């Protein structure tokens, strides 16, 4: 009894667990139940039950409701699909002027908007692409095909790679200094020499459109939300869902709305990249001390000046994190959107992975990662740039960057021209090194992989088998064995214990949505993979973070490493693991672990760092040793922040699990991938995406509520 009074929460949790397990044991698996495959797969079978809703027929196998809930939301994907189709093809037809045929044409408004948007995006991408690589679409866009036939020399020639490399280096120098300039130059030279120039520039042109647009939209919407409570309220739920929505899932509806190609990829990238930008903008603007704003007003700022010169710069730190996120997402999407026909490195990467050509994949992946890091560093340097008013510079000093660029421009052109004589009859290597005609280390890597495989095959295989048979399979079976009701009770109970009625209701709604969808089993598989990944990631991340924290230098170093790793597009993580473990669940899980360890480590270090120095000193003065200080003071205080890290770890893990479908898993991701090639896949893809997002949101809600309470308790809210 005494214990009960002392630790009431502990007993409540124990009670919850007891109920959960009791339910698990009490509810048997129905004999006819076929895991995963048995559910609504849209095959007709006389044993199926049927119901109609909103005119849609939904078929499913009925089981004991305690075991699995019937898919009462089974109509949703079909309905989304039909609505999309209706909106695109029948809703609000209007007359539109057609330039090409010179006549009015009737079209549904949404289709027209989509076409215009598509044309606009395509134009932007092509413009940059043709500046970098040459082509004639841009000129055509302003004139016509007949015109270009008459004046074929008007075609944009494209820049020789030497000029682009020099330009990147000079720009980096101007923004930051020698270090970045060297990095930029080497990156560009590497890309060129290894024959990745064309795909790299294609990807770059895609990024140079997607990233600024995402930035502008995100910033704009963020400001709008900051200024108006109503906008914020309207945006908030969308932002929440989008934050945990796997990027795959948005591909499918985009396919329906915008078709296939780079433009669709840009739009989709914006859909994914804008929400974090909005959130961070709001966060940054909110944190501005009111007196700074007042100081701006007293200086006589107009509203515009206040926004541009006071608010945005003052919120710079968070906005910059937003920019970093945007770039990260853009590169991630640069790969993923290869599924819907975006050209560039991503496409090559996927192709190479598909052919199991690890060497090629590695090279493409390295290129993407290098460009990502470069752009990230450049944008950071740009935002932190300072003006020097007192330099007393000469004309040459002030304009030296422009002069250097002009010089390298001329030299580049001369080189390219000279190249036409040197490389007569073959490729002009001083102009552009064609794809796969550069140096390639792919063979080397492939041989390396083969060697590793031959040498360590026995061990790898043994490890693999052990992991799958003795750890993963049983764990998976356990998860699948959970009756729907027991899971619901567990989730709702946890919600209630952590955040009271409110949390319980939110969690219940989210869980019910998944349980009532036709993919409960697959959601459980997703969950099992994510859990496995998260547990190991946290163990590694918290340990590594704590160890690195012991020393200022190693902490800073580790944060830097996290920064760089975070900039890698998620797909890149699949390359090395496939190299070692081939196409198995193990590969996916290891990728998940590596990817999700980043936030776990980062937040651990940041959390420990945020413990006030005064407390440190006070603790040291009271004669506490290092270990005691860690366990008694630093951990408890840093724990809330570390829990936010856990939250991120879960989101990262879920993302990677879903991407893992590419390797072949049996979870929700697999279905999303399938939906991509399905004519009616949009609804399914979106619903699946929402399911995954909701898994993330359940944990998000629980963790955040807990953290808030804990912070209040510790007085560091």
Min dist. Cβ of residue 307 to another protein (A):
13
Q: Would you count residue 395 as binding another protein (CB under 8 A)?
A: no
Q: Would you count residue 291 as binding another protein (CB under 8 A)?
A: yes
Contact window for another protein (CB under 8 A) among 254-262, 304-312, 519-527, 591-599: 304-312
Enclosing H/E stretch for 270: helix 262-286
* Residue-wise DSSP of 648-676: HHHHHHHHHHHHGGGT--SSHHHHHHHHH
| Measured distance CA(202)–CA(589) in Å, rounded | 31
Enclosing H/E stretch for 94: strand 93-98
Residues present in the chain in total: 717
Min dist. Cβ of residue 289 to another protein (A):
7
Min dist. Cβ of residue 611 to another protein (A):
21
Cβ–Cβ < 8 Å for 506, 650: no
Contact window for another protein (CB under 8 A) among 188-196, 305-313, 537-545, 609-617: 305-313
Residue from the set 10, 50, 119, 292 that interacts with another protein by CB under 8 A = 292
| Measured distance CA(252)–CA(671) in Å, rounded | 11
**Residue 302 or 355 having the CB closest to another protein:** 302
**Residue 309 or 629 having the CB closest to another protein:** 309
| Measured distance CA(298)–CA(559) in Å, rounded | 40
Min dist. Cβ of residue 555 to another protein (A):
21
Enclosing H/E stretch for 432: none
Residue from the set 305, 440, 554, 648 that interacts with another protein by CB under 8 A = 305
Cβ–Cβ < 8 Å for 549, 555: yes
Q: Would you count residue 314 as binding another protein (CB under 8 A)?
A: yes
Residue from the set 48, 144, 228, 299 that interacts with another protein by CB under 8 A = 299
**Residue 95 or 294 having the CB closest to another protein:** 294
Nearest Cα residue to 418 out of 407, 429, 409: 429
Q: Would you count residue 389 as binding another protein (CB under 8 A)?
A: yes
**Residue 299 or 631 having the CB closest to another protein:** 299
Cβ–Cβ < 8 Å for 210, 323: no
Q: How many CB atoms lie within 10 A of CB 432?
A: 25
**Residue 149 or 388 having the CB closest to another protein:** 388
Q: Would you count residue 300 as binding another protein (CB under 8 A)?
A: yes
Contact window for another protein (CB under 8 A) among 98-106, 310-318, 566-574, 669-677: 310-318
Residue from the set 298, 458, 501, 621 that interacts with another protein by CB under 8 A = 298
* Binding mask of the shown chain, residues 251 to 290, with x at each position contacting another protein by CB under 8 A: --------------------------------------x-
Min dist. Cβ of residue 302 to another protein (A):
6
- Give the count of alpha carbons within 13 A of 195, CB side only: 13
Contact window for another protein (CB under 8 A) among 108-116, 307-315, 365-373, 553-561: 307-315
From residue 166, alpha-carbon distances to 171, 184, 189, 229, 453 in Å are 8, 9, 10, 47, 41
Cβ–Cβ < 8 Å for 519, 667: no
Contact window for another protein (CB under 8 A) among 127-135, 295-303, 461-469, 507-515: 295-303
Burial 22-52 (b: 16+ CB within 10 A, else e): ebbeebeeeeebeebeebbeeeeeeeeeeee
Q: Would you count residue 386 as binding another protein (CB under 8 A)?
A: yes
Q: Would you count residue 381 as binding another protein (CB under 8 A)?
A: no
Q: Would you count residue 316 as binding another protein (CB under 8 A)?
A: yes
Residue from the set 56, 107, 115, 309 that interacts with another protein by CB under 8 A = 309
| Tokens 């790898």 belong to residue | 460
What are the tokens at 388?
A: 């020097």
Enclosing H/E stretch for 628: helix 626-628
First to last CA, the chain: 34
Give the SS3 label for residue 93. strand
Nearest Cα residue to 133 out of 209, 206, 210, 202: 202
Contact window for another protein (CB under 8 A) among 150-158, 298-306, 433-441, 648-656: 298-306
Min dist. Cβ of residue 230 to another protein (A):
17
Q: Would you count residue 297 as binding another protein (CB under 8 A)?
A: yes
Number of chain positions touching another protein (CB under 8 A): 22
Contact window for another protein (CB under 8 A) among 110-118, 218-226, 311-319, 516-524: 311-319
Residue from the set 310, 353, 472, 695 that interacts with another protein by CB under 8 A = 310
Contact window for another protein (CB under 8 A) among 292-300, 444-452, 489-497, 592-600: 292-300
Cβ–Cβ < 8 Å for 446, 358: yes
What residue ranges bind another protein (CB under 8 A)?
289, 291-292, 294-302, 305, 309-310, 313-314, 316, 386-387, 389-390
């Amino acid at each position: 009894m005494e214990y009960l009074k002392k630790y009431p929460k502990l007993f409540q949790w124990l009670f919850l667990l007891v109920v959960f397990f009791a339910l698990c044991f009490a509810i048997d698996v129905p004999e006819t139940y076929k895991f995963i495959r048995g559910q609504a797969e849209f095959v007709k079978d006389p044993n199926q039950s049927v119901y109609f809703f909103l005119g849609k027929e939904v078929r499913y196998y009925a089981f004991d409701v305690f075991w699995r809930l019937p898919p009462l939301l089974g109509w949703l994907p079909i309905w989304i699909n039909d609505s999309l189709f209706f909106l695109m093809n029948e809703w609000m037809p209007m007359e539109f002027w057609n330039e090409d045929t010179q006549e009015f044409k009737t079209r549904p408004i949404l289709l027209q908007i989509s076409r215009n948007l598509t044309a606009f995006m395509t134009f932007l991408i092509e413009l940059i692409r043709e500046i970098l690589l040459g082509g004639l679409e841009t000129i055509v866009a302003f004139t016509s095909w007949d015109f270009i036939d008459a004046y074929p020399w008007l075609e944009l020639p494209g820049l020789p790679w030497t000029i682009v490399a020099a330009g990147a280096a000079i720009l980096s120098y101007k923004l930051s200094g020698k270090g970045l300039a060297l990095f930029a130059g080497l990156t560009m030279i590497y890309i060129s020499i290894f024959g990745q120039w064309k795909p790299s520039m294609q990807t770059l042109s895609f990024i140079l459109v997607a990233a600024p647009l995402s930035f502008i939209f995100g910033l704009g919407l963020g400001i709008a939300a900051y200024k108006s409570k109503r906008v914020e309220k309207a945006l908030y739920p969308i932002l929440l869902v989008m934050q945990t929505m796997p990027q795959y899932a948005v591909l499918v509806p985009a396919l329906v709305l915008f078709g296939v190609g780079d433009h669709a990829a840009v739009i989709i990238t914006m859909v994914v990249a804008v929400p974090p930008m909005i959130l961070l903008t709001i966060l940054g603007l909110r944190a501005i001390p009111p007196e700074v704003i007042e100081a701006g007003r007293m200086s006589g700022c107009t509203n515009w000046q206040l926004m541009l010169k006071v608010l945005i710069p003052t919120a710079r730190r968070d906005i910059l994190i937003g920019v970093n996120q945007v770039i990260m997402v853009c590169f991630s999407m640069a790969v993923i959107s290869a599924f819907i026909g975006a050209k560039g490195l991503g496409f090559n990467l996927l192709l190479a992975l598909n052919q199991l050509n690890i060497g090629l994949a590695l090279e493409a992946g390295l290129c993407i990662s290098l460009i990502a890091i470069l752009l990230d560093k450049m944008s950071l340097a740009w935002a932190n740039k300072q003006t020097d008013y007192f330099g007393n510079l000469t004309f040459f000093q002030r304009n030296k960057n422009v002069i250097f660029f002009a010089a390298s421009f001329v030299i580049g052109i001369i080189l390219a021209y000279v190249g036409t004589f040197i490389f007569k009859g073959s490729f002009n290597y001083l102009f552009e090194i064609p794809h796969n005609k550069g140096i390639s280390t792919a063979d080397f890597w492939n041989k390396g992989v083969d060697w590793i495989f031959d040498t360590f095959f026995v061990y790898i295989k043994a490890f693999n088998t052990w992991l799958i048979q003795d750890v993963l399979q049983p764990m998976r079976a356990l998860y699948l064995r959970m009756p729907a009701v027991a899971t619901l009770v567990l989730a709702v109970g946890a919600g209630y214990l952590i955040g009271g009625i409110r949390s319980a209701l939110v969690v219940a709604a989210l869980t019910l949505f998944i349980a009532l969808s036709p993919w409960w089993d697959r959601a459980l598989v997703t969950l099992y993979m994510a859990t496995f990944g998260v547990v190991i990631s946290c163990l590694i991340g918290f340990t590594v973070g704590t160890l690195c924290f012991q020393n200022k230098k190693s902490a800073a170093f580790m944060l830097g490493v996290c920064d760089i790793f975070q900039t890698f597009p998620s797909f890149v993580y699949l390359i090395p693991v496939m190299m070692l473990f081939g196409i198995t669940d193990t590969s996916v899980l290891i990728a998940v672990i590596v990817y999700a360890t980043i936030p776990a480590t980062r937040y651990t270090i940041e959390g420990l760092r945020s413990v006030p120095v005064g407390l440190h000193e006070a603790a040291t003065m009271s004669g506490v040793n290092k270990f005691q200080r860690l366990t008694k003071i630093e951990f408890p205080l840093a724990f809330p922040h570390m829990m936010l890290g856990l939250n991120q770890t879960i989101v990262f893990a879920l993302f990677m699990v879903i991407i893992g479908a590419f390797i072949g898993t049996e979870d929700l991701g697999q279905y999303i991938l399938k939906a991509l090639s399905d004519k009616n896949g949009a609804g399914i893809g979106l619903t699946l995406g929402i399911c995954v997002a909701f898994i993330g949101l359940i944990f998000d809600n629980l963790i955040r509520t807990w953290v808030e309470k804990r912070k209040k308790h510790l007085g560091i809210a």
